[in-house]
Amino acid sequence: MPALVAYASRKGVGLLLWAHWQHVAPRMDEVLDTYRRWGIKGVKVDFMQRDDQEMVAFYVRLAQATARRHMLLDMHGAFPPAGLSQTYPNFITQEGVMGAEYNKFSWGRVTPGHNVKLAYTRMLLGPMDYTPGGFRNTAPQSYQAREVMPMTRHTRGQALAQYVVYDSPLQMVADSPDAYANASGFEFLERVPTAWDETRFIDGSPGSFIVLARRKGTSWYIGAMTDEEGRDIEIPLRMLGDGKYRATVWRDGPSANEVERTVTEAARRDSLHIRMSPGGGAAILLTPTR
């Protein structure tokens, strides 16, 4: 493990470890001290699947222990946030959501409508480790459940939009590396931040669609997502500052696995017309030009 840490460090990358909570709980100090000695930057602890008194106490104990060691903490297999990150800011995200991994199963519950509803429900509680990034995208009616190389029920446009709509300071690219090689729209994931300076709700209604804008520095990012119904929307740009902006738009393309990328000039008095396919979406980057 120290050799892997050294290799990653030469690439400018810090390593996190994914651990089962039952491995960590009975000997927490020993485990975390070992990880720190190896040079590990943080942990993703998983498979708790409970919210009883014993488990809540485990969350607090682990948040305290990782904070003392200046280690990042992500709780997967977790109950929804209850404010613990306000006391321990190293505890930066947690699951507590039916997220992207359920695309592997035939239950049919991670639908585009489900994804939209999350913006109005679970997202209000705090950072959400949905693990977006599925790049084997299909239209809802073409989806087939499979555990190997799983599909999503949404388009590539919605896959990109999730990185704006879903807030998580530790964000994921959850597919296998080969899915991203020369992939349509992947350049947006190379640009989108994981922490924000400002958030604005633009338009939408629970269960149908969502348009959310987030600012990082002087740039604005907009994510738009729709349910199983395709729709045309107008996105007003009143949140922009004075002057001109370069608007780069990734919108649903000719197939579910493609986006169309366009670049135009925009100002705060303007609006952008976006067509979203069923289960679709769009991602927009606005950067000042002068």
- For the segment 64-85, what is each residue's pLDDT rounded down to a tens digit? 999 999 999 999 999 999 999 9
The mean per-residue pLDDT over the stretch 20-28 comes to 98
Same structural domain for residues 257 and 189?
A: yes
Would you call 175 a catalytic residue per the annotation?
A: no
Can you give the pLDDT at residue 29?
Answer: 98
Can you give the pLDDT at residue 193?
Answer: 98
- pLDDT for 223 beyond 80: yes
Percent of the chain with pLDDT over 90: 96
What would the pLDDT profile of 74-124 be if each residue is shown by its tens digit?
Answer: 999 999 999 999 999 999 999 999 999 999 987 778 999 999 999 999 999
Would you call 101 a catalytic residue per the annotation?
A: yes
- What are the structure tokens assigned to 282, written together? 């769009």
Q: Which pLDDT band, with edges at 50, 70 and 90, does 273 fall under?
A: very high
Name the catalytic one among 29, 30, 33, 46: 46
- Laid out side by side, the sheet with 219-226 consists of 198-205, 209-216, 219-226, 281-288, 245-252, 259-266
Amino acid present at 99: G
- What are the structure tokens assigned to 240, written together? 């922009």
What would the pLDDT profile of 141-158 be if each residue is shown by its tens digit?
Answer: 899 999 999 999 999 999
Q: Of 96, 120, 152, which residue constitutes the final position of a domain?
A: 96
* DSSP conformation letters of 139-198: -GGG----SSS--BSS-HHHHHHHHHHS--SS----S-GGGGTT-TTHHHHTT--SS-SE
Structural domain for 248, as ranges: 105-290
Q: Decide if 63 contacts 74 (C-beta within 8 A).
A: no
17 Cβ neighbours under 8 A, 6+ residues apart: 35, 40, 42, 43, 44
Q: Of 54, 75, 96, which residue constitutes the final position of a domain?
A: 96
Same structural domain for residues 59 and 186?
A: no
C-alpha to C-alpha distance for 217 and 73, rounded to whole angstroms: 26
- pLDDT for 207 beyond 90: no
Can you give the pLDDT at residue 240?
Answer: 97
The mean per-residue pLDDT over the stretch 3-29 comes to 98
Q: Is the pTM of this model over 0.85?
A: yes
- What are the structure tokens assigned to 47, written together? 């498979």
Name the catalytic one among 51, 101, 187, 229: 101
Which CATH number do you get for residue 150?
3.20.20.70
Q: Of 39, 69, 96, which residue constitutes the final position of a domain?
A: 96
Same structural domain for residues 80 and 201?
A: no
Same structural domain for residues 151 and 231?
A: yes
Same structural domain for residues 110 and 80?
A: no
